[in-house]
Amino acid sequence: MTKAPKSALAAPLNVIWDFDGTLLPYDSEQALLRSLLRPPLQVGLHKALLARALSWADRHNLMERSFKRWYVRCLRGLPVEALDRLARQVARDISDADRRAIDEIRALGARMFVVSCGTGDLSQRILEAAGVAAGFLAIEANWFTFWGNRIEGMDLSIHLPADKLAAVKGLGISISHAVMVGDGITDLPLLDEAAYPILLDRAGRKATLIRENGYLGAASLPEVARLLSNIVANP
């Protein structure tokens, strides 16, 4: 069922994307934490145990307010090369079909932006490694700070889901005249305000959420591309 938009789409077409779980099929921050447990990155027992615990807690949505503080503590001192290496590995999981879908949406004339509660350094590197970064005009997220070539801290600007609304406004975009594509709980504030809210449901477990909130549902990025093509053709 197609939801009647709250208001018409503005021209040009603005598409706001979540990153983790949406453009990337899983969580990049959790992947970075898990990488601490594998060679060639050797860390002490304390950090290894902390990384494992943080990844598990974040996967179960148990540390919304405190996760980033412990995440940065765990990663402090990590060389920037570790981010580049992880990005190359993780980018392989953005399929060729997903990459084509991103290119197809861009070809519709869409202006695409990433707005994420995650780590911008990871989002940017992964999109670059996947060869699709040129399709996105900006990435609004949380960014590491560095001392030399090692992680020192984080500029935390999008801590909670509601912060995404302010980030979109800061881009000069009215979310009520835009498309939002997301996959989970951190995307609900934007999905609830978007002219066309698209909930990505790769595993087919969110039918109730889609139905009860009147969202558009998509099982894949190619399906998102088809939805947007239809929306552009039949505004």
In a domain, 217, yes or no: yes
Report pLDDT for 39: 74
Where residue 107 sits, what CATH number does that domain have?
3.40.50.1000
In a domain, 64, yes or no: no
The DSSP H or E segment spanning 65 is none
Report pLDDT for 60: 86
Report pLDDT for 142: 98
- Counting every residue, how long is the chain? 235
Separation between Cα atoms, residue 22 and residue 220, nearest integer Å:
9
Task: Please give the angle made by the CA atoms of 140, 221 and 189, to the nearest 5 degrees.
Answer: 45
Q: Which domain holds residue 110?
A: 14-26+95-233
Q: Residue 218: name the closest of 235, 233, 203, 234 by CA.
A: 203
Report pLDDT for 1: 38
In a domain, 104, yes or no: yes
List the structure tokens of 117.
Answer: 């509660």
Report pLDDT for 226: 98
For residue 61, give the amino acid letter.
N
Dihedral in degrees, nearest 10, Cα atoms 155, 33, 99, 104: -40
Report how many domains make up the chain: 1
- Alpha helices in 176-220, H assignment, sequence order: 188-193, 207-213
Report pLDDT for 104: 97
Q: What is the pLDDT along the chain (235 residues), one digit of tens a residue?
A: 344 455 667 678 999 999 999 999 999 999 999 999 887 666 777 888 899 999 999 988 888 789 999 999 999 999 999 999 999 999 999 999 999 999 999 999 999 999 999 999 999 999 999 999 999 999 999 999 999 999 999 999 999 999 999 999 999 999 999 999 999 889 999 999 999 999 999 999 999 999 999 999 999 999 999 999 999 888 6
Separation between Cα atoms, residue 39 and residue 164, nearest integer Å:
35
In a domain, 48, yes or no: no
Report pLDDT for 7: 61
In a domain, 188, yes or no: yes
In a domain, 80, yes or no: no
Three-class DSSP category at 33: helix
Separation between Cα atoms, residue 154 and residue 134, nearest integer Å:
25
- Alpha helices in 118-220, H assignment, sequence order: 120-130, 163-170, 188-193, 207-213
